Chain A
Amino acid sequence: MSKKIGNININNDTVKNLKGFEDVFEDYVESEEYKDLERRKGENTKVGEQHELQRFLEEENARLTGLEVFLSKKIPLKTNFSQSEKLIQMQMERKKVIKDKLFGELKKLDSAFQKNLAQFFNSHFS
């Protein structure tokens, strides 16, 4: 196996299949195109690593800003001026009104509920 092809990261089976084409690959490995591609790959990895820490710190900055707002503004606002009790009261009142309406509808003799109930009792206890 050619030494130059051996330096590229390809497995042995692939190298065996390439038998007879060594010259073509040697030319490619020596070419400027291949060297340029390798150089660019290296540069991209380096740039990625350089920006990794900066991105991490920016994310942390955003996270801590959010956390600070949540702990110092949103929670005190929620606990000091809670709307929950008023909303619960409102929902209970609306529930009472709708229940009255519903029972009024269901109590009527010609309602679907009464009819179904009558049918059920008639079929089982007659």
Chain B
Amino acid sequence: MKIPIFEEIPLSEMTAEKLRIIVSDSRIGKVPCYLNLTNLKKDEAEKLIVNLEQIILEHNLHPLFPYPLYIVSPYHFKSSIPTVRTVKDLPEHYFKKVKRPNNKELQLLNKLSLKVDKIKNLDLYKIINEFQDSTESQRRLYNETKELYFLETLHRKLIEKKK
């Protein structure tokens, strides 16, 4: 496995067919990647992102897990793929000097590779959707508990005052 540091996905053409080949050849999910769309106009970039989301879904990849895929563009898009304005805004954690790994590091890389495969084999879209659905009941529970705490405090203060 390659060291998980940022890899730029070269974008030569923008057609859906070409994009499909680029995605299947890329290491999206296996290492953190980014697509630099700073040279594209907003409507062109928007079209490309819609196609990309579709293709990523077809390839059973997730834009966030195990390793994220970023879009670098000065514009803001409504997309499941995280967007940053410039390459400098990408997380520094994944910018490291390329170096030949020693035996111990190779062992760690093999372990990482197994973990990445394990996560990739999960039904990530389903898991994340279910998790998002469950947040509604969590929010309701939070509001109910907050209201109960307020009433209990009020009651306690009233009783204390009476004594």
Contact = CB atoms under 8 A, between A and B. Distances in A.
Are the chains A and B members of one assembly?
A: yes
Contacts of A2: none
A72 B115 CA distance: 12
Contacts of B154: 102
B141 to A, nearest CB: 5
Interface residues of B, number: 40
B148 A79 contact: no
Nearest to A76: B127
Interface string B96-138: 1101010011001101100110110010100100110110011
B152 interface: yes
Q: Is the interface of B mostly helix, strand, loop or mixed?
A: helix
B63 to A, nearest CB: 15
B105 A82 contact: no
B99 to A, nearest CB: 6
A67 B119 contact: yes
A76 B134 CA distance: 11
B65 A85 contact: no
B110 to A, nearest CB: 10
Interface string A53-72: 11011101100110110011
B101 A53 contact: yes
A52 B134 contact: no
B44 interface: no
B59 interface: no
Contact of A98 (B97, B105, B152): B152
A43 interface: no
Interface string B140-163: 110011011001101100100110
Nearest to B108: A57
28 contacts: A53-B105, A54-B105, A57-B105, A57-B108, A60-B112, A61-B108, A61-B111, A61-B112, A64-B112, A64-B116, A65-B115, A68-B115, A68-B118, A71-B65, A75-B127, A78-B131, A79-B131, A79-B133, A82-B137, A84-B140, A91-B144, A95-B151, A98-B152, A98-B155, A101-B155, A102-B154, A106-B158, A112-B162
Interface of B: 3-4, 65-66, 96-97, 99, 101, 104-105, 108-109, 111-112, 115-116, 118-119, 122, 124, 127, 130-131, 133-134, 137-138, 140-141, 144-145, 147-148, 151-152, 154-155, 158, 161-162
